[in-house]
Amino acid sequence: MGILEGKVAIITGAGGGLGRAHALLFAREGAQVVVNDLGGARDGTGSAASAAETVAQEIVKAGGRAVANADSVATSEGAANLVQAAVSAFGRADILVNNAGILRDKSFLKMDEAMWDSVINVHLKGTFLCSQAFVKQALAQEDTAAGARARIVNTTSVSGMMGNFGQSNYAAAKAGIYGLTRTMSIELQKHRIPVNALAPIAKTRMTEDLPMFTGVSTMTPEHVSPAALFLASHLSGDKTGHVLAVAGARMYAFKVVETQGRFKDESQGVWTAEEIAEHWDALVK
């Protein structure tokens, strides 16, 4: 018996790359899977239901249970339809993996408003909308109210945590997902719904032309999916609010930390700009 036996998992952006790897692994571990993918190009243009259908068929042929969904995560209607697809096919929703994403890279001064909005809408707004629709369904399930845990796994990135040249829209969206993950983890604790995030580095259709992946074959989606499985399963217990990063064989966590800083005792603790300049090294180390 797999560790997700009897669970219903919704995975967005699962028509390829990381999402496909997540979907195949979850299905092998017993989950019934809703494979969501709009089926567009890397920049989000176009659509084709065949992307999700191909992965769903792959799962079914291997003996698993899956349905395809091609709704857009960037609209409230699409998010609602996605959750309803799980309920219609399998009667419930237990796991949500927010993985859908697009890229429209451009340097900050050359980026236009449409590039900004499209990336923010899919990554950040999509994570918000799908999570909200999912949680409402999870709370309506009788066994969830009695103590069964629904689980959410979001997808942030190293760009979101550290920044990256040419990705102000993507980095801002992924940083927003980090903040959303932290806030959701706080607010949903009373409902016993853990919310965590992945920060993956993997060679996929989205990233394969980046210089860092030239000749690289050891940073695959399959390296990342076990971390998604862990966070989506009972093995992660009540852990919540964490960002688990995966880069090939290396796994680590991202944290936002405070420096020790300094207190000013005189002048009622009001710092002058000159004093900040003088003590800068002590404030930031």
Both tokens of 209, joined, read: 């032309």
Cα–Cα nearest to 8, from 80, 71, 85: 85
Beta bridge partners of 198: 155, 244
Q: How far apart are CA 206 and CA 176, in angstroms?
A: 20
Cα–Cα nearest to 56, from 15, 117, 26: 15
Both tokens of 253, joined, read: 């966590």
Helices first, then strands: H and E counts in the chain = 11, 8
The one catalytic residue in 128, 170, 178, 230 is: 170
Contact between 213 and 219 under an 8 Å Cβ cutoff? The reply is yes
Cα–Cα nearest to 246, from 22, 43, 16: 22
Contact between 50 and 40 under an 8 Å Cβ cutoff? The reply is no
Q: How far apart are CA 61 and CA 56, in angstroms?
A: 9
R_g over Cα of the chain: 20
Contact between 236 and 194 under an 8 Å Cβ cutoff? The reply is yes
Let me know if 252 is a catalytic residue.
Answer: no
Active site residues: 170
